[in-house]
Structure 1
Amino acid sequence: MTALLTDNLPLLAGAPNGIQKLRELILELAVRGKLVPQDPSDEPASELLKRIAEEKARLVAEGKIRKQKPLAEIGEEEKPFELPEGWEWVRLGDSLEMINGRAFKPAEWKASGLPIVRIQNLNREDAPFNYCNEDDVDARHLINDGTFLISWSGTPGTSFGAFIWRRGKAALNQHIFSCVQKGKAFFEDFLQISINTRLDELISKAHGGVGLQHVTKGKLEALTLVLPPLAEQHRIVAKVDELMALCDRLEARQADADSAHARLVQALLDSLTQASDADDFAASWQRLAEHFHSLFTSESSIDALKQTLLQLAVMGKLVPQDPSDEPASELLKRIAEEKARLVAEGKLRKQKPLAEVGEGEKLFELPQGWQWVRKTEVFNFLNGYAFKSEWFKPEGIRLLRNVNVSHGAANWKDTACISEEQAAEFQGFLLAENDVVLTLDRPIISTGLKYAVISSSDLPCLLLQRVAKIAPYAGAVSVGYLSAWLNSRFFVESIDPGRSNGVPHISTNQVASMPFALPPLPEQHRIVAKLDQLMSLCDQLKSHLTAARQLHERLAGVLVEQAVA
C-alpha cells in the first residue's frame, strides 16, 4: 500500500489541494492498518484490552478512580471498516481517564508566572499566554511535556482534537481534558492519530452556537477507536512521520516552483507592458503565445495575463494607431459644445475651471491623438436617490442598490422595489441600456471591482444612493473602453477608500477628479474588439485548465479509493 502511495506521489500531490488530501489519506490508511504490514508475532490487541481491565480494577481498588458504569458494547454499526488481524475496537472512555481543566477567572490572571494553556495555545504557537500563580493551582490541573490533551470545545476545523503538550510546565484551562491512560494500551502518538481521524464524527456530535461549540464528556467517552498491537502502533507512527516529512518536502518544493513560475510569468508580462507600440507588442505577444500552455498553468497566472491586457489596452499598446482617426482633441470640442448647451437649457450646472492634469499625475506616455483629461471633463456623474426603506414593495419598479452591483452586470437575487406611481416622480434616476454604474460602498471586494453595465433585461430600474452612474458627454467614450479603464490597475489602484460609519467608500467627486486617458473614438472600438478577442482566449485557457484539473482530481480519487479499499 505504501508503494501505491509513493509510486503515485506526483499525481496525488499535483491534484487540487493535493498535498493536504495526501496527508489526510496517510492518516486514514494508518488507522485502517494499510500503511505497514502486520506482524503475526506481535502481541494482539486483545491482550492490551485485558491490561486495560486489570489497570482499571486496580485503580478502583486503590480509590484513585471511581468505578464507572460499563460503557455500551460496540455495535457493528459503530465499526466503519473491517480491522486487520490482531486489532480491536475500543471506546475512548475505557482507555482514558479525562480530567477537565480549571475555569480560571480573569481576576486570577497575572503578568507573569505559570502559563495557562487555553484552546488557542494548542493550535497556535504564536498565541499569547495568560499566567497564574502556581501555588494556587491543584496538581490535577498541572500539565508538563508529554501530557495528552483533548480539546472538547471550540470552532470546528480549528481547535477540536487531541494534542500532546510539549512546551513545558503549565496550568490547564477549562474546555480541555488532560488524559491518563488506563493500562498503557496506546502509544500516545498513535492515540493522537486515532482520535484526530475521527474529528468529523466528533464535530457532528458537538452542540452550541455558530461560534463556540462543545462535545460532552459522555460523547467523547463513547467514541470508538482502533487499537492495533502496541508494536505495530510504533511502526505505524514511524511510517506516518516518514511520509509526512516527504509531504513537507513536496510542499516546500511546490511552493518554490510556484513562486519561481509566478516571477517568470510576471517578468514576461512586464515585457509586454514595456512594448514601445502596438507592433512591438505584437512581436512580444507572439513570443509569449508559443509557450502559453507551459506558462499559464494556474488561475492566478491567467488573471495576471488578463490584467496585463487591460493595462495594455488603456495605454494604447494593444492595437496600432490610425493617423486618419479624428483625434481626442476634437472629442473634447464636441463635449464642450454639449456641456454649454446643457448649461444653457438649465440641465447642467456650469463647472468651475479644472486644473490641468499635471506631469506627476500622468500615469504613462500617451500615443499620438490621445489626451489626458479629468473624468469630470468627459463624464457626467449621477448619485442615486435616497429612497426610503418604508417605500419598498415586493413588486414594482426595481431599485439598483449596492447589493445588486456585481462584476460587469447587475444581480437581482435580492430585490427591492417601489410602486410604479411613486417611481414616476423620480424619472431623473431611471437607468437606460448600456449605462455604467459603480458602487461607492466597498467598491473593491476580493473578487474584483463592483461595477455593472445595464442591460435591457435590467430595465426598468431606478438608481439608489451610494451607487453612481457614469455617463459620457457627446458619446465620447464607448462602454467597452470605459469598462476596460475601470477594471485596469490604473483605476483600481488609484482608489483610496475613505471611511464612513465604518464602511470603506469612495465619492463621485474623488472619481471625477481622477486622470483619464482619452483615445480617439474609432480606436476605442478597435481596442475593445481586440481586448474581447484576447480575453476570450484567456477564458479558453481557464476552461482547459479546469478540465485538466478535474481529470487530475478524478485520477487521484481512483487511486485514493484503491488505497483505502
Structure 2
Amino acid sequence: MTVEKLITDHIDIWSSALQTRSTAGRGSNGKIDLYGIKKLRELILELAVRGKLVPQDPNDEPASELLKRIAAEKAELVKQGKIKKQKPLPEISEGEKPFELPEGWEWVRLGFITNYGECDKAEPTDADADTWIVELEDIEKSTSRLLNRVTFSERPFKSSKNKFNKNDVLYGKLRPYLDKVLVADDSGVCTTEIIPIKVYGNILPGYLRLLLKSPRFIAYANESTHGMNLPRLGTDKAINAVVELTAISEQLRIVNKVDELMSLCDQLEQQSLTSLEAHQQLVETLLAMLTDSQNAEELAENWARISQHFDTLFTTEASIDVLKQTILQLAVMGKLVPQDPNDEPASELLKRIEQEKAQLVKEGKIKKQKPLPLINDDEKPYELPEGWETVYMQDISELITDGTHQTPKYTESGRPFVSAQCVKPFKFMPENCRFVSEDDYQQYIKNRKPELNDILLSRVGAGIGESAVIDSDLEFAIYVSTGLIKPMKRNINSHYLVLWLNSPIGREFSSKYTYGKGVSQGNLNLSLIRSFLVSLPPRLEQERIVSRVNELFSICDILKSRLQSAQQTQLHLADALTDAALN
C-alpha cells in the first residue's frame, strides 16, 4: 500500500482522532489537538528515514561509496587547515541499530557526516541593519515553518550569536523545541540555542532536516538532554547519534515525497480546523437563541429545534462546555424552570432576611452593613420573571470576607489551609490544600471561619470568579487568594448562589471587578463582590433550579464521558494504523 493510499483510505481515522490538550494553569477549556494528523506527520517522517517512503533504485550508488567520499573530503579539509582532525568516533554496535535498513543504506554517526558543534561566533559589531536574526520563537514547533523573518535593525542583539550560511541546517537543541529544524535560505546569525549544521559529501540539507525531525531522533534527543531549568542536547550526545544514510539520488526523492505528503497533511489539518471552528460557531449561535428567547413559548420552540440535532451538535468537549454555560445562563435568567404563581415572591424573602440580619446585629453576631445605593432599572442586566428580584450580594449574605493576608508558614501536617487552588467551578477540593500549625490556624480563622454550605470564591490567578459550596464539615483556614461568602442560609440556597457565580453573568461581574489584569495575576476586589447584582428567585424556585441544573449537568457529563471514550478509540485506531504501517 502506498502512503498516499494509506492517507486517503483512512482519512476518517486521521482527521477524527482528536485530543483535548490540558492547558497550563487552571480551568478545563483545553485546545483541540489534531492527534491523528500529528501521528500521520510522524509516520511520514519515520517511513522516510527507514527507506519505506519511496522505492529503492538498484542503479543508485550505495551509501558506503558516499561515506568513502566524505572521509576523503574531510581528510582534504584537514590538510588545507580548514577543519581540525576529528577524534575517531566509536564503531556502531549491532545493539545501536534499532531496525534493518534497505539494501544500499548505511548506519552512520551524525558527527561523521556533519560538523555538528563547530560554528563561528558573531558579535553585534559583525551585523549590519539587514542581517537576518533567528530566534527559537521564529520557528513553528512541529512543522518547523519560519514564522517571522527579523533583521538586526528590528531586533538588535548585545551578546554573542552563532553565524550561519545559506543551506546550513538550523537545529534547536533546547527542550522542548527539539523538533524546530530549518534549512536556511540565506545567511545570518542565530541564538546560541540553535546549532547551525553543515553537511559533507553533498548530502542534501533537506534530508538532514528530516533525520533530525524523525520521531526516533527526537526521542533520542529528549533522552539525551541535560540541565534542570533549560535542558538541552549536549554536543557529544549529538555527534554520537546514530542516523540512517542513503544515496544522494534517493535523498532527493525522499525530500520531494515528504514535501508532497506534508502538503496533503496541511490541507487535511486546515479542513479539520475549519470544520471544528464552523461547528463551534454553529453551536454557539444556536444556543444563543435560547438565552435570547423572549418568552417561555419561544424558548420551548427554540429548544425543540436544537434537541432534534442534539447528537450532531454536541460532538466536542467545547460544544458541551458551551451547553453547560447556556444552561447556567438560562437558570439565572429564570428561563430554565417554569414559575409557580403560588411561590412566595423574592420580595417577601428579602423582608425576612432584613429582619434576620437586624436580629443578628442586635445579638452582636454580625456587624451592621453599610447600605449600598438603590438599584435602578438601567443597572439590571436583564428583565426578570414575576416574583424575582435583583439584589446586591451583600443583601443576601451575613458576611463577605477573604482569608488571612499573613504569609503562611507551611508545615508537613497540621490544620488544613485552603487557597484558590482548592476551588474550581462547583468543586471544593480540600485534598489540594497545604497545612499550618495549630497556633497559626487560630490566628488565621479569626472572624472568618468557613463552615458547611458557605461559599468559597477564587480571587486571584487564572481561575478568578470560580466558586464552590463547602460540602464537608472539615475545619480549615483560608488564604487571601480565596473569598468567603456566608449566605443567609435559612432563605438562600447556597447551591443556587454558586450556580449564579459560575454562570456567564456571574463570571462577567468577577472579571469586571478584577484589578491588575495584564500587570499581574489580577485580584478580584473584595468590597466590589458585595455589590454583585444577583438575580434572586423565590426560595422554592431556587430549589427547583438547582435540581434541574444538576439533572442537565449529569446528562452533559454522560455526553462528555461517551465522547472521551469514543476519542480514545479513535486515538488507539490512529496508533494501530501507524504501527501497522511501520511493521
TM-score (norm 1): 0.89
Which residue among 11, 24, 29 is the counterpart of 1:9? 11
Counterpart of 1:201 in structure 2 is 220
Once the two structures are aligned, what percentage of the paired residues are identical? Answer: 39
Residue 15 of structure 1 aligns with an amino acid whose one-letter code is: A
Other-structure match for 1:54: 72
- Give, in angstroms, the shift of residue 98 of structure 1: 4.1
Q: 1:298 to 1:98 in 2, by over 3 A?
A: same
Structure 2 partner of 1:126:
148
Looking at structure 2, the residues matched to 519 and 245 of structure 1 have their Cα atoms a distance apart, in angstroms, of: 57
Is the Cα contact below 8 Å between 1:97 and 1:179 reproduced in 2?
yes
The separation in 2 between residues aligned to 1:393 and 1:53, in whole angstroms, is: 63
Is 2:205 aligned against 1:188? yes
Deviation of residue 420 (structure 1)?
A: 8.1
The alignment's C-alpha RMSD in Å is: 2.9
Q: Determine the structure 1 residue equivalent to 2:169.
A: 148
Change in 2 beyond 3 A, CA 1:181/1:353: closer
Maintained 8 Å contact 1:319/1:526: yes
Any idea what SS the aligned residue of 2:53 has?
coil
Bigger radius of gyration: 1
Question: 3-state SS of the aligned residue for 2:198?
Answer: strand
Secondary structure, counterpart of 1:69 in structure 2: coil
Contact 2:466 2:502 in 1 (8 A): no
Question: Whole-Å Cα distance in 2 between the matches of residues 422 and 544 of structure 1?
Answer: 44
Name the SS for the 1:86 alignment partner. Answer: coil
1:90 alignment partner, SS class: strand
Counterpart of 1:135?
none
Q: Name the structure 2 match of 1:562.
A: 580
Residue 189 (structure 1) shift: 1.1
Q: Secondary structure at the match of 2:201?
A: coil
How far the C-alpha of 1:421 sits from its partner, in A, is 11
- Local SS of the residue matching 1:181: coil
Aligned pair partner of 1:383 in 398, 401, 409: 401
Q: Among 259, 264, 276, which residue is 2:282 paired with?
A: 264
Task: Report Cα offsets for 1:164-206 as digits up to 9, x if no partner.
Answer: 101x33245545444333222x222112101221122123222
2:484 maps to 1:483: no
Q: Distance in 1 between matches of 2:351 and 2:190?
A: 77
| CA distance in structure 2 between the aligned counterparts of 1:391 and 1:230, rounded to whole angstroms | 65
How many pairs does the alignment contain?
A: 549
CA distance in 2, matches of 1:11, 1:160: 24
Q: Given the alignment of the two structures, is residue 470 of structure 1 paired with residue 491 of structure 2, yes or no?
A: no
Q: How does 1:346-495 map to 2 (within 5 A)?
A: 346-384=364-402, 386=404, 394-407=412-425, 408-419=427-438, 423=442, 428-442=447-461, 444-445=462-463, 449-456=465-472, 458-473=473-488, 475-495=490-510
What displacement does 1:425 show? 10
Cα distance, 1:418 vs. partner? 3.7
Q: Which runs of 5+ in 1 are unaligned?
A: 133-137
Judging changes above 3 Å, is the alpha-carbon distance between structure 1 residues 348 and 543 closer, same or farther for their aligned structure 2 residues?
Answer: same
- 1:101-121, Cα deviation, whole Å (9 max, x unpaired): 444456x38782533445445
Deviation track 1:306-357 (CA, whole Å, cap 9, x = no partner) reads 0000000000001111111000110011011112212222333333442122
Indicate the SS of the match to 2:457.
strand
Q: Aligned in 2, Cα 1:474/1:81: closer, same or farther, shift over 3 Å?
A: closer
Name whichever of 412-421 and 469-478 sits farther off: 412-421
Structure 2 vs 1, CA of residues 179 and 324 (structure 1 numbering), >3 Å: closer, same or farther?
Answer: closer
- The 8 Å contact of residues 269 and 305 in structure 1, kept in 2 or not, is answered as yes
Give 3-state SS (helix, strand or coil) of 2:260's partner: helix
The answer on whether the counterparts of 2:466 and 2:501 sit within 8 Å (CA) in structure 1 is: no
Contact 1:114 / 1:171 at 8 angstroms: preserved in 2?
yes
**Counterpart for residue 157 of structure 1:** 176
Is the Cα contact below 8 Å between 1:410 and 1:453 reproduced in 2? no
**CA shift in 2, pair 1:484/1:157, >3 Å:** same
The change in CA–CA distance for 1:438 and 1:101 in structure 2 (over 3 A counts) is: same
Which residue of 1 is the match for residue 26 of structure 2?
none
1:221 Cα deviation after fit: 1.8
TM-score where L is the length of structure 2: 0.86
Give, as a single letter, the amino acid of the residue that structure 1 aligns with 2:209: Q
